[in-house]
Amino acid sequence: SRPDWRTNASNVGCQCRRFGFVLLPSSMLSRGINDGHIFNINSMSGHRITGMMNFYAATKFAVTALTEGLRRELAVKSRIRVTAISPAMVETDFVTRALGDENGKEVIQSVGNLLKTQDIVDALIYALSAPESTQISDILIRPTGNLL
């Protein structure tokens, strides 16, 4: 039988990252990379629940836990840093398409300000520019004036 959207969301949101969290660090360490930086783009939904998005939030909470587990695992055997960037809704074509063109526009207008992709890039640069002795573990980003 064909899996429903919840199964697909869980597979993409959690299982794919879990495999990546196994493969990427082992690949880095096997090549002698001991001081790199792994970024995980998560979601504010991994830190709070809004509306009727409880299942989506559950997959994002799982990503938050997987990221923290990876950070702790790498801390005992390397200097590889792990940073999760969790933005609120970002203004992209994907958001409009995912919600349906007309419905998406209404939802976006009701939410208020949305983040821009440059906001995410700036957060990534901020974490990369931190001193090697500093672990920027989580960056939660909301646009000014947004209630979500």
**What are the residue boundaries of the structural domains of the chain, listed by start?**
5-141
- 28: tokens are 């880095």
Catalytic residues, by residue number, are 56
Predicted confidence (pLDDT) per residue in 35-54, tens digit: 999 999 999 988 888 776 78
CATH architecture, domain defined by 5-141:
3-Layer(aba) Sandwich (3.40)
Helix and strand tally (H, E) in the chain? 6, 3
Q: List, for residues 82-141, the tens digit of each pLDDT value.
A: 999 999 888 887 766 766 666 666 766 666 788 999 999 999 999 999 999 999 999 999
Read off the pTM.
0.79
Q: Report d(CA 16, CA 12) in Å as an integer.
A: 5
